[in-house]
Amino acid sequence: MPGQHRNSSPVTSSWSDRLQSNSTLGLESRVFAKQGLQQQAKLHNSVNFLQEWYWQSEDESHSWTLSPYLRWDQRDAERHLLDIRQAFWLTVGSGWELKLGVDQIFWGVTESQHLVDIINQTDFADNIDGESKLGQPMLQFNWFGDFGNLQTFVLPYFRERTLAGLNGRLRLPLLVEQDKAVFASDQEQRHIDWALRYSKQLDQLDIGLSYFSGTSREPGFVPTAQGTLLPYYGQIKQFGLDAQWIVDSWIWKLETIRRSDGQSHYRALTGGFEYSMVGVFDSDFDLGWLMEYQYDSRGMFATTPGQRDLFVGTRLAWNDAAGTELLFGITQDLDDSGSRSGLLEASTRYNNNVRLRLDAWFFQTRSPEQQIWWLRQDDYLQFGIDYYF
Amino acid sequence: MNLLKLKGAATIAVLLFGFTAPVWADAAKGLQIAAERKARDEGWKDSEAKTTMILRNAQGEESTRQIRSIALEVANDGDKGLTIFDEPKDVRGTAFLNHSHTGKPDDQWLYLPALKRVKRIASRNKSGPFMGSEFAYEDLSSFELEKFRFNYLKDETLNGVNTFVVEQVPTDEFSGYSKTLVWVDQQDYKVLKIEFYDKKNSLLKTLLLQDYQQYLGKYWRALKMTMHNHQTGKSTDLLTQDIQFGKGRTDADFDTNALQRSK
């Protein structure tokens, strides 16, 4: 066939398959070093299933995405979950995008914690690293051009944070009555939140400015006469700034927020760098170093562990056929030398459809004022198998 | 005395001429061949392709990757490319956006589907392997004259085809190579073979480009590229199944919004 005819337009777009269906089945086994503070078991198994359907129109101007997620836990009923991670219609024009439905939005640049990222609720029962998110109903309009990128969100429904239950691990000492959440707003979950983010790339510098007004994704806890806790969701306004600056093999990163709830306000910051070395020691290995300082103006009254802490981590990529990689990091409290936590995330490919994972967390403190005091028995190793089909 | 001086000067001139002039000629001819190679591949505007990568270790065990990519020609700068990974399935949906540049580091972003996160990558060092293969990122970036100093070495017949052999020395100190030797077909200026030399100047890899097809009556593309690593015994085949040109792609298909939408 002469080459000249090879560019004739096909019936369907070959760049993007118009209908895609992807499924992932995951098995996780958490092995805790000790019994829980409330005598919970050492071995916790769970199963999760993620389905993704995607359809795109011939001219690529609009698409539908549907992605349900299911999780079942052997011990903890609060870890059972049926969620819609994504269910949206997206249409794209020249210099704009409009999305209607449920989706997940990530904002930010740092690795050790995600201060600026606020659109989605955290699936905290799934993973305490805060990177697992619940689907958020939204109307999203993006407007972009040489001036930068402006995202506008209207968020009509609020999702409550998932937390470990009575028989679960990595929980608060008192039982949280998760079906009795208290809201600052009379509209409760139907309060309409909104958010903006403007971002711009200036050569090697990326800057993002964001604003959120609505129901706090992070609950407070109200003690009851029965000795339980009720989640309390206040109304907040949050200004955020995120920036990264690329200098050769260095990426300097900063995220900072100012959050107020009407009565008081606080500031928090994560700042540091990621340094990447390619082909270390004459091998194919990539070695990366991460260092991030975490600050919270509330000090010991902070609701997150990073009030004056330093995260130091290393990332190793084998660059082998199995795509083996490892991240290890420690967060050291700078005011309390005996308090630190650490994490390990490692994974390798078994075959074209299967990835094996090893994750671990440890928590060390001798001080009851520390957030992680309640997790001091909860060091664990997690073995995971993900089957993709 | 004067004569002797003159003779001495002439000897120096001859020495200078004899030593340096052919090198200048070689550099000029090298650049001329490279410029012709570049000129013959200008004007393709945009393309899309599906590619299979077969990775082979020293024992001959194979693993396969499937990728889809689109590319946009950029005048007076490096090209833009967007690549979506389909297999292995654990990385499906991961997408890689590259704005290559001449004279400054490329802009690169990775879309991580599990976190729905676009992550910018420090691209200064492009010598690392692409998806665990024998191809480095820099082997796959667009050919730009500013990236090398050229030297024509000789004519050679390669499998019955008359070729120019041109030495390319990377101008980027972060390149993984001390030099590459490129065999350029004298008729169509297709690259038929490349030898890559590591920083210690020993032969690291050989790339063979085969199954050339012509598109739009002008542009030649190798549908089979095989990279052999002589130091590890590993190899990678890059097999392109389907290339299409002129789909009317614009810059908007190569920004971070498009990266986030890519499926």
Q: In chain A, which residue's Cα lies nearest the Cα of B50?
A: A15
CA distance B227 to B136: 10
* Closest CB to A323 among B48, B122, B132: B132
State which CATH number among 3.50.30.60, 2.50.20.10, 3.40.50.720, 3.40.50.300 fits the domain covering B39-261.
2.50.20.10
CA distance B88 to B54: 11
CB proximity list for B244: less than 8 A, separation 6 or greater: A6, A7, A9, A10, A14, B47, B48, B49
The owner of tokens 């019994």 is A35
pLDDT of residue A5: 38
User: Cβ(A275)–Cβ(A246) under 8 Å?
Assistant: no
pLDDT of res. B25: 61
**List of E strands, chain B:** 46-56, 62-72, 80-87, 95-99, 107-112, 117-121, 148-158, 161-170, 177-185, 191-198, 203-215, 219-229, 235-245
Measure the CA–CA gap between B88 and A320, rounded to whole angstroms. 13
In single-letter form, the type of residue at position B142 comes to: S
B117 touching A, CB under 8 A? yes
What distance in Å separates residue A226's CA from the closest CA in chain B?
39
Residue A328: pLDDT band (50, 70, 90) is very high
Burial A298-310 (b: 16+ CB within 10 A, else e): eeeebeebbbebb
CB burial class (10 A; 0-12, 13-18, 19+) of residue B102? Answer: middle
Nearest chain A residue (CA) to B199: A282
Mean pLDDT of A48-55: 96
Query: Any idea where the domains of chain A sit in the sequence?
Result: 279-389
pLDDT tens readout for residues A69-128: 999 999 999 999 999 999 999 999 999 999 999 999 999 999 999 999 999 999 999 999
3-state secondary structure chain A: CCHHHHHCCCCCCCCCCCEEEEEEEEEEEEEECCCCCCCCCCEEEEEEEEEEEEEECCCCCEEEEEEEEEEEECCCHHHCEEEEEEEEEEEEECCEEEEEEEECCCCCCCCCCCCCCCCCCECCCCCCCCCCECCEEEEEEEEEECCEEEEEEEECCCCCCCCCCCCCCCCCCCCECHHHCEECCCCHHHCCEEEEEEEEEECCEEEEEEEEEEECCCCEEEECCCCCEEEEECEEEEEEEEEEEEECCEEEEEEEEEEECCCCEEEEEEEEEEEEEECHHHCCCEEEEEEEEEEECCHHHCCCCCCEEEEEEEEEECCCCCCCEEEEEEEEECCCCCCEEEEEEEEEEEECCEEEEEEEEEEECCCCCCHHHHHCCCCEEEEEEEEEC
Q: How many CA atoms lie within 13 A of A40 on its CB side?
A: 25
| Nearest CB to A244; choose among B120, B244, B261 | B120
Provide mean pLDDT across the span A212-218: 97
pLDDT of amino acid B131: 87
Percent of chain B topping pLDDT 70: 90
Using an 8 Å CB-CB cutoff, list chain B residues near A197.
none
- The reply to whether residue B120 touches residue A144, judged by beta carbons under 8 angstroms, is no
Q: Domain residue spans in chain B?
A: 39-261
Task: Give per-residue pLDDT as tens, A226-281.
Answer: 999 999 999 999 999 999 999 989 999 999 999 999 899 999 999 999 999 888 87
Residue to test with chain B: of A6, A25, A126, most B Cβ within 10 A = A6
Whether A55 has a pLDDT exceeding 70, the answer reads yes
Note the pLDDT of residue B127. 83
pLDDT surpasses 50 at B3: no
> Which residue type, as a one-letter code, is found at position B55?
L
Q: Average pLDDT of A291-308?
A: 87
Answer whether B244 sits within 8 Å of A105, measured CB to CB: no
- Closest partner CB to A250 (pick from B63, B68, B122): B122
Q: Is there a contact between B102 and B146 (Cβ–Cβ < 8 Å)?
A: yes
Tokens for A206? 């990326």
Is residue A289 pLDDT above 80, yes or no? yes
Amino acid at B202: S
| Least confident interval from A295-299, A310-314, B124-128 | B124-128
Q: Regarding predicted confidence, which is higher, B213 or B14?
A: B213
Query: CA-to-CA distance for B27 and B102, rounded, in angstroms?
Result: 20
Q: What is the pLDDT of residues B160-204, one digit of tens each?
A: 999 999 999 999 888 999 999 999 999 999 999 999 999 999 999
Residue in chain B nearest A247 by alpha carbon:
B122
| Element (DSSP H or E) covering residue B34 | helix B2-39
Spell out which residues of chain B touch residue A250, defining contact as CB-CB under 8 Å.
122
- Residue A12: what pLDDT? 45
Minimum mean pLDDT among A355-359, A363-367, A370-374, B103-107: which range?
A: B103-107
Give the residue from A18, A63, A113, A278 with the most B CB atoms within 10 Å of its CB, the best one to mutate. Answer: A278
Cα angle: A332, vertex B112, B130; to 5 degrees: 100
Tokens matching residue B149: 């100093």
Q: Is residue A49 pLDDT above 90, yes or no?
A: yes
Using 50, 70 and 90 to split pLDDT, how confident is the model at A131?
Answer: very high
Q: For residue B22, how many other CB atoms are within 10 A of its CB?
A: 10
Cβ neighbours for B7, distance < 8 A, ≥ 6 positions apart: none
Closest CA to A361 of A68, A35, A95, A32: A32
Residue B8: what pLDDT?
53
Pairs of CB atoms within 8 A across A/B: 122
d(Cα A176, Cα A164) in Å, to the nearest integer?
Answer: 9
- Cβ-nearest to B122 among A7, A9, A246: A246
Nearest-CA distance A250 → chain B (Å): 7
pLDDT for position A3? 36
Say if residue A216's pLDDT is above 70: yes
Q: Which of A10, A15, A355 sits opposite B70 (nearest CB)?
A: A15
Mutate to test the interface with A, among B84, B90, B221 (most CBs of A within 10 A): B90
Q: Which amino acid is at B122?
A: A
Subunit contact A388:B55, Cβ cutoff 8 A: no
Distance to chain A for B209, nearest Cα, Å: 17
Between B64, B93, B217, which is nearest A352 by CB? Answer: B64
Q: What is the pLDDT of residues A141-200, one digit of tens each?
A: 999 999 999 999 999 999 999 999 999 999 999 999 999 999 999 999 999 999 999 999
Average pLDDT over residues B206-219: 95
Q: Report which residue type is found at A239.
A: F
H or E element at residue B256 = helix B256-261
Name the token pair of B55: 């990775």
Residues within 8 A of A (CB atoms), B 165-224 only: 176, 213-217
Substitution target from A4, A9, A11, A14 for chain B, most B beta carbons within 10 A? A14
Residues of B in contact with A105 (CB under 8 A): 116
| Interatomic CA distance for residues B29 and B22, integer angstroms | 10
Residue type present at position A171: R
B9-45, pLDDT tens digit by residue? 545 544 445 454 455 569 999 999 999 999 999 999 9
Please state, in angstroms and rounded to a whole number, the distance separating the CA atoms of residues A386 and A380: 19
Q: Is B132 helix (H, G, I), strand (E, B) or coil?
A: coil
Our CA-based measurement puts residue B201 at a distance from the nearest CA of chain A, in whole angstroms, of 14
- Say what the pLDDT of residue A280 is: 82
Q: How far apart are the first and last CA of chain B?
A: 82
Q: What would the mean pLDDT of A344-355 be, rounded to a whole number?
A: 96
The reported pLDDT for the residue numbered A251 is: 96
Whether the CB of B52 is below 8 Å from some CB of chain A: the reply is no
Mean pLDDT over each residue of chain A, to the nearest integer: 92
Residue among B120, B217, B242 whose CB faces A14 most closely: B242
Residue A79 tokens, joined = 């870890």
pLDDT band per the 50, 70, 90 thresholds, residue B226 = very high
Looking at the complex, report in whole angstroms how far the Cα of residue A186 sits from the nearest Cα belonging to chain B.
32
What average pLDDT does chain B have?
89
Q: How confident is the model at residue A21 (pLDDT cuts 50, 70, 90)?
A: very high
Encoded tokens for A161:
């944070």
pLDDT over 70 (residue A24)? yes
Whether residue B129 has a cis bond before it, omega within 30° of 0: no
Is residue B228 scored above 70 in pLDDT? yes
